[in-house]
Amino acid sequence: MENNRQNAADIEREIPVSEPERQYYFIERARNDLKKMEEAAGRQLSFCVTTFGCQMNARDSEKLVGILEQIGYIEEPEEEKADLVIYNTCTVRENANQRVYGRLGQLGRIKKKNPHMMIALCGCMMQEPEVVEKLKKSYRFIDLIFGTHNIYKFAELLATRMESGHMVIDIWKDTDKIVEDLPSERKYSFKSGVNIMFGCNNFCSYCIVPYVRGRERSRDPRAVIREIERLVADGVTEVMLLGQNVNSYGKTLDKPMTFAQLLREIEKIEGLERIRFMTSHPKDLSDELIEVMGQSEKICKHLHLPVQSGSTRILEKMNRRYTKEHYLELVRKIRKAVPDISLTTDIIVGFPGETEEDFQETLDVVRQVQYDSAFTFIYSKRTGTPAAAMADQVPEDVVKNRFNRLLAEVQEISVKKCSVYEGSVQTVLVETKNEHDDSFMTGRMSNNLLVHFPGDESLTGKYVDVSLDECRGFYYIGKIVKG
């Protein structure tokens, strides 16, 4: 963890106006507040952060944990036992919202029994005004609500809540600000997500993300490189570069640069072994990027390239700005440059106006591309997006039927694709102890496939060569052939 903390006496001074100094000041203040709360409780107080949604949110949660640990809270893995529970929410589909409301009801009952308990909500769902209205009205027991744009202000907001005793709500509509150098705690010692950009300017007609994550902003490449260099010095060998649309990285910088150029710079960092990135938009995937991927020693052999639909007519209504043919051509170029690359995708079924013929086009793309895996989603109507107002919403039973047919196709192909490596030896980065069997460890191949093999925790974070003895559908059972 980065450590440029002020010391406790410093909170007597004027509140700094510039960031990140201001937040380090509030970390100290919250530290004092927490001490008083702990004296009153007669014990140490704990926190639990629960993350919904994507890798972006997971990375944001690490920032929250970093701040909480500096404030002096201890981590409690079980939500019901924690004194500060934070939900970092997602709103990409309606069912994500429903899950949050359901769990909040439960938390409210637990809070009645724990007088020291606080509940905080943040993330994408909080950027929707109707959500915050509903929470204010029907979930009065919530202590703190903030959004995606001011997450860096967490220490300040928490201190305000601790000192005022009232519900604190702070949501910004948008921001052009990026605050660097705040504390952050990593879930894994050997790999880390690294934000390279925030927000999204694409406005796919079904998607709520541009409304809740705001306009696209790229981080300064020097800040990205500096962060990765520090991570590497701290034992990290694999990074996942994060952005809603990494392929348009750098366009908004004072000195514009491309994502491919950024990758070339990152590649030079000594000690860094693996580079991943997410998510790529097909319309912005350049020949330059394909060339860099073909030449790179470090970029992993995996590309997540959401297609969303195989029908050019639907793609147009989705505002995706590519055609079926353009997408298939991209896939051909990528496979030519990186023959053993693993391709994964996202597909939405039941977009307004989708006919059986449109759906057949999607199945056709799935069969032609032969995805290593695909995330399939039932279209979810998001209030405020253009698609929500479109006529011809597809009936639920038709969508379910298409969804099941798509899933069957996707899974059959995945199993076939996964099995092609059987009998070969691959290098994996050892990540965790196996969930089901303590004597096994789990490692990840460059192409993102998982392998379970006998081993112990001393291997965590190491690269080992594993023979892929048996394919079990979507993963392998193997054994180490060389440490």
Binding segment toward ligand SF4, per CB under 6 A, in 4-12, 101-109, 209-217, 349-357: 209-217
Q: Are strands 475-482 and 463-471 parallel, antiparallel or unpaired?
A: antiparallel
Which residue has the CB atom at the shortest distance from ligand SF4? 53
In this complex, which beta carbon is closest to ligand 5AD, that of residue 70 or of residue 373?
Answer: 373
Closest Cα to residue 59, out of 320, 204, 244? 244
DSSP string, 57-102: HHHHHHHHHHHHHHHT-EE-S-GGG-SEEEEEE--SSHHHHHHHHH
Task: Kindly report the backbone phi and psi dihedral angles of residue 333, in degrees, each rounded to the nearest multiple of 5, phi listed first.
Answer: -65, -40
Question: Using CA atoms, how far apart are residues 50 and 72, in angstroms rounded to an integer?
Answer: 19
Q: Which residue is nearest to ligand 5AD (CB)?
A: 346
Q: How far apart are CA 206 and CA 350, in angstroms?
A: 11
Point out which span in 108-116, 164-172, 206-214, 455-463 binds ligand SF4 (CB under 6 A). Answer: 206-214
- Distance of closest approach, residue 349 Cβ to ligand 5AD, in angstroms: 9
Do residues 220 and 261 make contact, with C-beta atoms less than 8 angstroms apart? no
Q: Which of 90, 197, 272, 303 binds ligand SF4 (CB under 6 A)?
A: 90
Q: Near ligand SF4 by CB under 6 A, which window of 15-23, 40-48, 205-213, 416-424?
A: 205-213
374 scored as a contact of ligand 5AD (CB under 6 A)? no
Contact 427, 446 (CB under 8 A): yes
Nearer to ligand SF4, 213 or 324 (CB): 213
Alpha carbon of residue 328 to chain centroid: 27
Measured between alpha carbons, how far is 307 from 213 in angstroms, rounded to an integer? 21
- Using the contact rule CB under 6 A, the part of the chain among 3-11, 235-243, 378-386, 425-433 near ligand 5AD is 378-386
Q: Where are the alpha helices (DSSP H) in 129-275?
A: 129-138, 154-164, 209-213, 221-233, 259-267
For residue 8, the 8-state DSSP code is: G
Q: Minimum distance between the CB of residue 63 and ligand 5AD, rounded to whole angstroms? A: 21
Taking the complex as a whole, how short is the minimal distance between the CB of residue 57 and ligand SF4, in angstroms? 4
Position 127 contacts ligand SF4 (CB under 6 A) = no
- Find the shortest distance in angstroms from Cβ 277 to ligand SF4: 15
DSSP bridge partners of 471: 476
Give, as ranges, the residues between 346 and 365 that touch ligand 5AD (CB under 6 A). 346, 348
Q: How far apart are CA 322 and CA 208, in angstroms?
A: 20
Which of 207, 266, 374, 451 binds ligand 5AD (CB under 6 A)? It is 207
Amino acid at 410: V
User: Could you say whether residue 474 binds ligand 5AD (CB under 6 A)?
Assistant: no
Taking the least distance from each CB to ligand SF4, the nearer of 20 and 123 is 123
Spatial distance between the Cα atoms of 322 and 412, rounded to a whole number of angstroms: 27
CA dihedral 315, 320, 325, 331 (to 10 degrees): -130
- State both tokens at 402: 């298409």
- Lay out the site mask for ligand 5AD across 13-52 (x = CB under 6 A, - = otherwise): ----------------------------------------
For ligand 5AD, give the closer residue by CB, 377 or 463. 377
CB of 348 to ligand 5AD, least distance (A): 5
Task: Give least dist CB 56 to ligand 5AD, A.
Answer: 10
CA atoms of 168 and 26, how far apart (whole Å): 15
- Closer to ligand SF4 at the Cβ: 90 or 107? 90
- Cα–chain center distance at 390: 29
209 binds ligand SF4 (CB under 6 A): yes
Residue 229 Cβ, how far from ligand SF4 at the closest point, in Å?
27
CB 157 within 8 A of CB 22: no
Rounded Cα gap, residues 188 and 461, in angstroms? 9
**Is position 373 an interface residue for ligand 5AD (rule: CB under 6 A)?**
no
| Binding positions for ligand SF4, 29-88, rule CB under 6 A | 53-54, 56-57
Distance CA 52, CA 66 (A): 18
Give the nearest distance from C-beta 64 to ligand 5AD in angstroms.
22
Tell me the number of residues near ligand 5AD by CB under 6 A.
12
- Contacts with ligand 5AD, residue ranges (CB under 6 A): 92-93, 206-207, 306, 308, 346, 348, 377, 379-380, 382
Chain residues in the site for ligand SF4 (CB under 6 A) = 53-54, 56-57, 90-92, 124, 209, 212-213
